[in-house]
Amino acid sequence: MTRILLCDEHPLLRQALRQVLTEAGAEVAAEAASGAEVLRLVGAAGGPPFDVVLMDIEMPYRDGLDLLRRLRSDRPRLPVLMLSAFADKQYAVRSLKLGAAGCLGKGSDGAQFREAIRTVIAGGLHIPPDVGAQLDGALARGGRAPLRERLSAREYEVFRLLASGRSVGEIGAALEMAPHEVAQCRAQLMEATGVRNDVELTLYAVREAMV
């Protein structure tokens, strides 16, 4: 039976996913509610071995994309399936470009989970068709990719929070960044987008479908 590390901060959602995974013939060997727990469980000596990590793209305390990058570095042979509501398919595209073994919507049924798990254990990629089309376009553009595809995971989060009207202090608290780090990132984003203030930044984000 496939052993899954299930990573999501919401207990009720983990419960629902655990039931779907059980119906799909997999075993949830352990659960994590934060980035710190993910790293502890994956790196624990003598801990339960995992065949697949199933992880929410938006994990608390450490961004899911940052976690993905760390897992790919520390455990490159461990497949990571990213979970998303797909309200923003850009997250799915970014995760695949960072080395995820695949993506799944949180509303996927047992058959979809079963197919995805089998695919990644066999060494393949599980890419939903709508995300695949967007990924093909992103790869075809290469170095001319839009700004949102060139930002780091942390820069992208700062951008989205600024565009949603959050202050530097609020963003720092949410992302565990010092205020001067947020301010520096804000200045770099302003320069990259050519805007002069937060209002123009929000308009840019809406125009480029980043919020």
pLDDT in tens, the chain (211 residues): 899 999 998 899 899 999 999 988 899 999 999 988 999 999 876 666 899 999 988 787 667 888 888 898 888 889 999 988 754 566 777 788 788 998 888 888 888 888 999 999 988 888 876 666 555 555 444 444 566 666 777 788 888 888 888 899 999 888 888 889 899 889 888 888 888 888 888 888 888 777 6
For residue 132, the model assigns a pLDDT of 60
Task: Note the helical H segments in the chain.
Answer: 11-23, 35-43, 64-74, 89-97, 110-121, 129-141, 147-150, 153-163, 168-175, 179-193, 198-207
Q: Write the class of the CATH domain 2-141.
A: alpha beta
- H/E element, 161: helix 153-163
Domain ranges of the chain: 2-141, 147-207
pTM value is 0.66
The Cα–Cα gap between 38 and 56 comes to: 11
4: tokens are: 């899954």
Given CATH 1.10.10.60, say whether it is the number of domain 147-207.
Answer: no
> How does the average pLDDT of the chain come out, rounded?
82
Q: Output the CA torsion sign for 172, 175, 180, 185.
A: negative
pLDDT for 126 equals 87
- Quote the pLDDT of residue 29: 94
pLDDT at 47: 64
pLDDT of residue 78: 92
